[in-house]
Amino acid sequence: MALKILLTVAMALILSLESTAAILPQSPGSSGTVDVRFPVPKYYQQYATQDGNPVPTTGRLFLLLP
C-alpha cells in the first residue's frame, strides 16, 4: 500500500514538472538499480521545514530491481 502511494506521488511530481529531462535516470545499465532525482516544489519545501528541518531542494527515488 505504501509503495502504491509513493509511486502515485512520484508520478504526480514528475508530471507536474516543466521539463522531465532533468529527472530521467542517468544510466540504468545492468546494475539492477534506478536512481531518479527531481526538484522538490516550493509547497513541499515549506511543509518539510515546519519543524526546523533543512530545506529539501532535491527529491530522490531509488529502486532496487531483481
Domain that holds residue 10: 2-64
CB 60 within 8 A of CB 36: yes
Q: How many domains does the chain have?
A: 1
Tens of pLDDT along 16-31?
A: 655 555 555 555 566 6
pLDDT at 46: 92
* CA distance linking residue 21 with residue 19, whole number of Å: 6
Tens of pLDDT along 7-65?
A: 677 777 666 655 555 555 555 566 678 888 889 999 999 999 998 999 999 998 888 87
- Largest Cα span, the chain: 40
